[in-house]
Amino acid sequence: MRITTQGDYALRCVLNIARHGPTGPVSIKSMAREEGLPVDYIEQLLLKLRRRKLIKSIRGAKGGYLLEKACGRMNIRDVLDAVEGTTFEMICSRRKKLNSHKCKGASGCVLKDVWLRLKDKIEEYLEGVTIESLLNKEET
């Protein structure tokens, strides 16, 4: 498991949009200023989030970005999957991509079950943390 700056920045952008949601669309410039992030990097992340239908863009002078889904129905895993791909890549599957042959221990590997269970726990946790719950923590 590896969370890069893409994942961190994307979560910060989604939280920013959610925070300002009731007041209308959030512009990239205001998001960049408030979060201290580069505009060009934010544009790339927002494009990925929009493709996954987590956010939507509004054109025009007062345009910007809004959440596509309610923040109570959007979780950390949704955002990370949109910008990072899978949140936990199995070592076994990575090895298959690097080499055309299977891992020597693939058929009776005792570690494979460990990695699968860990992957399930991580994904379960990330799915359980909604954007709304993060916003609620900011308020306290």
Q: What phi, psi does 58 have (nearest 5°)?
A: -115, 125
pLDDT in tens, 17-29: 999 987 889 999 9
CB 95 within 8 A of CB 101: no
Arithmetic mean of pLDDT, 122-136: 95
Neighbours of 78 (CB within 10 A): 19
d(CA 5, CA 20): 22
CATH number for the region 5-139 comes to: 1.10.10.10
Q: Where are the domains of the chain?
A: 5-139
Neighbours of 52 (CB within 10 A): 15
pLDDT in tens, 102-119: 565 556 677 888 888 988
User: Model's pTM, two decimal places?
Assistant: 0.83
> What mean pLDDT, rounded, does the chain reach?
86
d(CA 111, CA 88): 15
Indicate the angle between helix axes 110-128 and 76-84, nearest 10 degrees.
120
Mapping DSSP to helix (H, G, I), strand (E, B) and coil, where does residue 66 land?
A: strand
